[in-house]
Amino acid sequence: MRPRARDGIIESDIGTLAVGRRGVLLSAEWLVGRASAPDFDPRDEIAAAFVAAYLRYFRGHDWREAFEDLPIGDGTPFQCRVWTSCRTIRPGDTRTYGWIARDLGLKPLHCRSIGNALRRNPLPIAVPCHRVVASSGLGGYAGARSGALADIKSRLLAFESAMRAKP
């Protein structure tokens, strides 16, 4: 399926992602078991820029090109540090929670805090938390260790590996 968007809802082979605002906060959410999508206003230039960036990504463009000039979202100073570190992981690569800890100058015992910060990531793919895995395997995604969200993490990683392999 060629990725397409309408009213902030982006449909792709990986899943359906909704971009909009929850109150004043920009959010992108996988529509898996959710009662509602965030509110999308086509006059919201930042939200519209994210929709365009997600479409570029799903069409096979490098995420750095698609998202590099866009903000990473609102969070605590610690969350923003974790999200910034996460954005250094290239498409097709993965890093562990321990790697993020070391990158931030922290001890590995902070892995749970790092996981919690990634769980609260309001902009999946733009902040590529799917590239962070447990040292023992895939780990969770958006707070889920199994089910549809974990499947999305696997599909994102496979998509990026295939995208990276293309000349």
Q: Which of 23, 18, 58, 53 is nearest to 37 (CA)?
A: 18
Q: Which of 67, 64, 65, 54 is nearest to 6 (CA)?
A: 54
Catalytic residue status for 80: no
Alpha-carbon distance of 27 to 47, in angstroms, equals 8
Alpha-carbon distance of 130 to 40, in angstroms, equals 24
| φ/ψ of residue 78, rounded to 5 | -65, -45
| Catalytic pick among 80, 86, 111, 129 | 129
- Amino acid identity, residue 67? F
Alpha-carbon distance of 6 to 148, in angstroms, equals 22
The three-class DSSP label of residue 133 is: strand
Residues catalogued as catalytic: 129
